[in-house]
Amino acid sequence: MARQVPYGAFNFIVNFAGSDAFGGFSDVSGIGSEITVAEYRNGSDKENHVRKVPGVHKVGDVTLKRGVINSESVWEWIRDVRSNGVNGQKDVSITLMDEARNPVQTWMLRNVIPMKYTGPTLAAKGGGDVAMEELVLAAEGMEVEAV
């Protein structure tokens, strides 16, 4: 029987290249895929309407946010892409889990590079905010796997 209650958006894990967790990200956004459509009409069509022809597809840029931790993994990957170009691409998986932490669905991003890094906004006032960093990923392909 199908589940009646949707899964919560707060229980997920991000991994890359088959490794352990990539770091505790608090936010993941931008997961998506788009197929461009070309409009076409045969000159001999009796009806005056266009046909919708599927064209190329693209994957949206995925943004990851997390509190700054003492981890070199993001910078090692950025350095690898800077030095080696496409040879630095990795596969990244984003897995949604249920309340018992069992995987329920995975978005597998293929041939990913870190496109943009934004460091934290630092301010001496307040003192209670977490230093957050942001990583934007560009992927060539995406697959969705229900577990």
Query: Domains, the chain, ranges and CATH?
Result: 12-39+48-146 (2.30.110.20)
Distance between CA 63 and CA 31 in Å, rounded?
8
> Average pLDDT, stretch 53-81?
91
Residues in the chain: 147
Distance of CA 105 to the CA centre of its chain: 14
Q: How confident is the model at residue 125 (pLDDT cuts 50, 70, 90)?
A: confident
Name, in order, each residue with C-beta under 8 angstroms of 63's C-beta and a sequence gap of 6 or more.
27, 28, 29, 30, 134, 135, 136, 137
- 78-102: average pLDDT: 94
| Angle at the Cα of 51 from the Cα atoms of 47 and 52, rounded to 5 degrees | 160
Average pLDDT over residues 82-100: 95
Q: What is the pLDDT of residue 136?
A: 97
For 137, which DSSP code? E
